[in-house]
Amino acid sequence: MKFNNNKKLGTKITQEILQDAYEAVPQLMTLLAPQGWRESSFHQELMVCRYEFYHEFLQMDDYLSPRIDVRRSETDQEISSEPPLSFDEYLYLTFPPLGNDHLELFYILSSILIEITFSSALYRDHEFDVYYFDEMQCEGIMIQLAYVNNQVDKEWANIAFTAFPPPYLDEMDVHHCLELLFTILKKHGFKLDYWHGELLYIVELQDMYWAILYGDLDYEEKDSRRQQIKSDISEILERYDSSYIDPLNLSSIVDLLNRRWVCPFVLAYLHVYDEFPKGYPYLLSDYEG
């Protein structure tokens, strides 16, 4: 159906796109936070996210295991551990650096850019390949660009890492970010091959529903699992329409989403390109088989 041959976008072009996003930050900041970044909800929510992920970070096995020093003797085993990172130490190690307004918004903008190809893909006319943004690659380039643009020193750039998603943005704020990003992508000759993430998930659930018929399970277990899948699909559909729709009827589901849902990606793309992206409106034939 899709994603079988998607290629990671090359480092050079990814760096150029992210550099354009970096340079557009002052313009976007004026639009999103006219009273100043520190007074905006974005900065406040970003700090809340960082505090929550700091506590999750402390619970990670990958964090705990290297900090344990194990010394064995003939009679006992002594286990000692270093004190955990303080919140300030954690903030020092994570990107964006604390107190850097420009890099905070750059991080949010870059995260939205990566999200564009979570379910969809980029392509250029007259080229066969389709592309996605590699998250790890983009995170490394973000930190590199911060150093190249004299926002951080080399020592910090060598140890920093990203550790949390961007804060919640309302639809209009996301729209402003997406319009800017699609303007940059258009400049580099890219268009969007759009796929609806939840519709793809529904198709996956429907495939699982029918596959269970041939599984090595007794009748009651098969029935229980299939009913759960139908319930999961119906729960998704209720977010779009409260009336009943057969969770196994893909044609009706596609029609529902075309009637009830215009993704922010699609709307922002339309404003920049003056046309819908490939893949919208949704076609049953794109999601079947």
Question: Is-cis flag, bond preceding 281, omega within 30?
Answer: yes
DSSP assignment letter at 24:
T
Contact 106, 25 (CB under 8 A): yes
Examine residue 180 and state whether it is found in any structural domain, yes or no: yes
- Same domain for 205 and 187: no
| The predicted structure's pLDDT at residue 77 | 45
Q: Which residue has the tokens 């995260």?
A: 111
> What total of structural domains would you count in the chain?
2
Radius of gyration of the chain (CA): 23
- Same domain for 222 and 136: no
Q: Which of 8-12, 64-68, 148-152, 160-164 has the lowest mean pLDDT?
A: 64-68
- Same domain for 101 and 134: yes
| The predicted structure's pLDDT at residue 3 | 58
- Same domain for 32 and 145: yes
- Same domain for 232 and 162: no
Residue scoring higher pLDDT (81 or 204):
204
* Most confidently modeled range among 86-90, 156-160, 244-248: 244-248
- Same domain for 64 and 21: yes
Examine residue 131 and state whether it is found in any structural domain, yes or no: yes
| The predicted structure's pLDDT at residue 123 | 97
- Same domain for 225 and 132: no
| Domain end marker among 169, 193, 217 | 193
| Domain end marker among 158, 178, 193 | 193
CA atoms within 13 A on the CB side of 118: 12
Examine residue 177 and state whether it is found in any structural domain, yes or no: yes
Total-model pTM: 0.85
- The domain in which residue 47 lies consists of 7-70+81-193
- Same domain for 144 and 46: yes
Contact 268, 178 (CB under 8 A): yes
Contact 192, 116 (CB under 8 A): yes
Examine residue 286 and state whether it is found in any structural domain, yes or no: no
| The predicted structure's pLDDT at residue 161 | 81
Phi and psi at residue 190, to the nearest 5°: -95, 145
| Domain end marker among 193, 211, 231 | 193
Q: How confident is the model at residue 46 (pLDDT cuts 50, 70, 90)?
A: confident
- Same domain for 132 and 152: yes
In tens, the pLDDT along 257-275 reads 999 888 999 999 999 999 9
In tens, the pLDDT along 116-135 reads 999 999 999 998 999 999 99
- Mention every residue, 6+ apart, whose C-beta is less than 8 A from residue 118: 197
- Same domain for 201 and 184: no
Phi/psi class of residue 12: alpha, beta or left (left: φ > 0; alpha: ψ in -120 to 50)? alpha
Query: What's the whole-number mean pLDDT along residues 221-235?
Result: 95
The residue type of 130 is: V
Question: Is-cis flag, bond preceding 277, omega within 30?
Answer: no
**Strand-pair partners of 161:** 94
Nearest to 17 by CA among 122, 152, 92, 102: 122
- Same domain for 100 and 39: yes
Q: What angle is formed at CA 123 by the lines to CA 119 and CA 124, rounded to 5 degrees?
A: 165
Distance of CA 139 to the CA centre of its chain: 12
Examine residue 271 and state whether it is found in any structural domain, yes or no: no
- Same domain for 144 and 21: yes
